[in-house]
C-alpha cells in the first residue's frame, strides 16, 4: 500500500504507475476524499480546541450554564464528526488497497512473460542420442506419477507422486530446507489457510482473488503460497532487526485455481491446482532489501546448479509482475522435451508494500519505519519435472542427481516401486 501523503504529493507519478500496471484505481477519487478528510480533521481540531478552552475556564470556578450547555453540544458534534471521519478514512484505505507498488527503474516494459528480459544463463544444454520424452510420459512409464487416478479422485490438474517419485520429491524439499537452514533461515510449518485480512495485507487480495480457493461461508482461503502465512506472522508487530534480518523458510502445499489457463500446459505436473513448495521470506530494514533480494536469488541459483540443471534468469516485465512487487526475477529451467526454458522459481522485492498493509514496523534508533519484505521460491515440484526430463536415459530410467542420492537411497529410478 502506498502512503497517502506520497500519493497526494505525487499525483501524476501514481496515475502513470496505475496506467502502466493496469490498476483500476482512480487517483482523483482518492485525492477528493483526502481533501474532505483534511477539512474534517481541521473541524475536529477547532472543536477540540474550543472544548479545551471551556475545560480550562471551568478550573477557575463553577462553569456557567451556557458553558455547560455548549460543552454538551461540543461532545455531540465532535462524536458525530469523529464517527464520520472514521468512516471516511476506512473508505480511503479501501481505495488505497487497489494501488500497486512502485516499480524499480530497471523493470522492463511489457505485457507478459514473452517480454521478460534475460540477463543471466548457466549450464550447458544436455545432448541426447535418442528421442526425449516429457516428464509425464517418463513418470507414468516408471509408475511414479499418476494423473489418471488423481483425475478420478480430485479432477483435472491434480497428481499423485508415488514410490520413487514421492521419495525424490521428499528428498528435494528436505535437501533445500536443510541448505536454507544452514544459511540462517528458521524453518516453519504454517497454517494451510489464511484469513481475508492476511490475504489483503500480503497483497493477494483484492488483486488476485480469481486464483484463490475460498472456503465457502468462511473468512478463509487455502493458501497459494506460505509467503502469505509467513508474512502475516508478524502483522501489527514492531520487529527487532538491529542484529540483522529475520529469515524464514517453510515447506507447504499450495493451492491455486489457475484461472485463465484453460488448455494451457495440460500435460504433466507443471501447471496444477495443488503443489508443494519450499519458500524463502525475509524481513529487513529498508536500506538492506536490495542486498537480501540478491541473496535469495543466489540461493535459487545454488539449488539448480547443485542439481546440474541448465537455467536462465530473467527480469520480469511490468505486465508479468503482481501488483505488490517492486522488482522480480524469474528463473527458468531447461525442459528438453519442450526445447525451451520454463519458469520454476520467482523472487520478488516487495519493499514496504506488505508491511504498510499489515502494519509491520522496525525500530531504527528512536524511529519506527516500515520493514521491507522479500519473498522467493526455494524449490517446487516443477523441479521434479525438470529432473525427470534432464536426467532421462535411453531405456526410460532416471539418474538421480548426486546431491539427492543419499536422501533417496539410490542412484537410479529404473522401474515402478509400487503395485497398481
Active site residues: 256, 271, 343, 346, 382
The cell numbers describing 357, all together, are 498493509
346 among annotated binding-site residues? yes
Residue owning grid cell 512487487:
325
Distance CA(174)–CA(146), nearest Å, equals: 22
256 among annotated binding-site residues? yes
198 among annotated binding-site residues? no
Distance CA(175)–CA(216), nearest Å, equals: 36
Those residues whose C-beta lies under 8 Å from the C-beta of residue 166, and which sit 6 or more positions away, are 144
DSSP codes, 273-329: SEEEEEEEEEEE-GGGHHHHHHHHHHHHHHHHHHHT--EEEEEPPGGGS-TT-SEEE
342 among annotated binding-site residues? no
344 among annotated binding-site residues? yes
Running DSSP on this structure, what letter comes out for residue 202?
Answer: T
Longest dimension (CA), the chain: 103
93 among annotated binding-site residues? no
69 among annotated binding-site residues? no
272 among annotated binding-site residues? yes
Nearest to 232, CA basis, from 205, 195, 207: 195
128 among annotated binding-site residues? no
Report whether 236 contacts 359 (CB < 8 A): yes
275 among annotated binding-site residues? yes
Report whether 311 contacts 331 (CB < 8 A): yes
User: What phi and psi values does residue 192 have, to the nearest 5 degrees?
Assistant: -90, 0
Report whether 274 contacts 253 (CB < 8 A): yes
User: What phi and psi values does residue 346 have, to the nearest 5 degrees?
Assistant: -140, 160
Nearest to 248, CA basis, from 268, 228, 264: 228
Helix (H) or strand (E) holding 266: none
173 among annotated binding-site residues? no
| Residues of each annotated binding site | 225, 256-258, 272-275, 279, 343-346
| Residues of each annotated binding site for L-serine | 225, 256, 279
| Residues of each annotated binding site for ATP | 256-258, 272-275, 343-346
Amino acid at each position: 500500500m502506498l502512503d497517502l501523503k506520497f500519493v497526494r504529493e505525487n499525483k501524476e507519478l501514481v496515475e502513470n504507475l496505475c496506467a502502466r500496471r493496469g490498476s483500476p484505481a482512480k487517483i482523483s477519487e482518492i485525492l477528493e476524499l483526502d481533501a474532505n478528510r483534511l477539512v474534517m480533521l481541521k473541524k475536529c481540531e477547532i472543536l477540540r480546541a474550543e472544548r479545551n478552552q471551556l475545560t480550562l475556564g471551568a478550573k477557575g470556578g463553577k462553569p456557567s450554564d451556557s458553558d455547560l450547555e455548549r460543552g454538551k453540544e461540543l461532545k455531540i458534534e465532535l462524536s458525530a464528526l469523529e464517527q464520520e471521519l472514521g468512516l471516511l478514512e476506512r473508505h480511503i484505505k479501501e481505495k488505497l488497497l487497489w494501488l500497486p507498488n512502485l516499480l524499480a527503474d530497471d523493470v522492463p516494459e511489457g505485457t507478459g512473460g514473452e517480454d521478460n528480459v534475460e540477463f543471466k544463463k548457466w549450464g550447458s544444454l544436455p545432448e541426447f542420442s535418442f528421442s526425449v520424452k516429457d516428464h509425464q510420459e517418463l513418470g507414468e512409464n516408471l509408475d511414479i506419477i499418476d494423473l489418471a487416478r488423481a483425475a478420478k479422485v480430485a479432477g483435472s490438474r491434480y497428481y499423485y507422486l508415488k514410490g520413487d517419485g514421492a521419495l525424490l520429491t521428499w528428498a528435494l524439499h528436505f535437501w533445500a530446507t536443510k541448505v536454507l537452514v544452514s544459511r540462517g533461515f528458521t524453518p516453519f510449518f504454517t497454517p494451510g489457510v489464511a484469513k481475508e485480512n492476511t490475504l489483503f495485507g500480503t497483497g493477494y487480495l483484492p488483486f488476485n482473488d480469481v486464483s484463490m480457493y475460498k472456503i465457502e461461508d468462511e473468512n478463509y482461503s487455502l493458501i497459494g503460497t506460505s509467503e502469505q502465512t509467513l508474512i502475516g506472522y508478524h502483522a501489527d508487530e514492531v520487529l527487532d532487526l538491529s542484529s540483522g534480518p529475520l529469515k524464514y523458510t517453510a515447506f507447504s502445499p499450495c493451492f491455486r485455481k489457475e484461472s485463465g489457463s484453460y488448455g494451457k500446459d495440460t500435460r504433466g505436473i507443471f501447471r496444477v491446482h495443488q503443489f508443494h513448495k519450499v519458500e524463502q521470506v525475509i524481513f529487513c530494514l529498508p536500506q538492506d532489501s536490495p542486498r537480501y533480494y540478491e541473496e535469495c536469488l543466489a540461493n535459487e541459483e545454488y539449488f539448480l546448479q547443485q542439481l546440474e540443471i541448465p537455467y536462465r534468469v530473467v527480469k520480469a516485465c511490468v505486465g508479468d509482475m503482481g501488483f505488490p512487487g517492486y522488482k522480480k526475477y524469474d528463473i527458468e529451467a531447461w525442459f528438453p522435451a519442450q526445447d525451451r526454458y520454463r519458469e520454476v522459481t520467482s523472487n520478488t522485492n516487495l519493499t514496504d508494500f506488505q508491511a504498510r498493509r499489515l502494519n509491520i514496523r522496525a525500530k531504527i534508533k528512536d524511529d519506527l519505519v516500515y520493514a521491507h519484505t522479500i519473498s522467493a521460491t526455494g524449490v517446487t515440484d516443477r523441479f521434479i519435472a525438470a529432473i525427470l526430463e534432464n536426467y532421462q536415459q535411453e531405456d526410460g530410467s532416471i539418474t538421480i542427481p548426486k546431491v539427492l542420492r543419499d536422501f533417496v537411497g539410490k542412484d537410479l529410478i529404473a522401474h515402478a516401486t509400487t503395485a497398481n
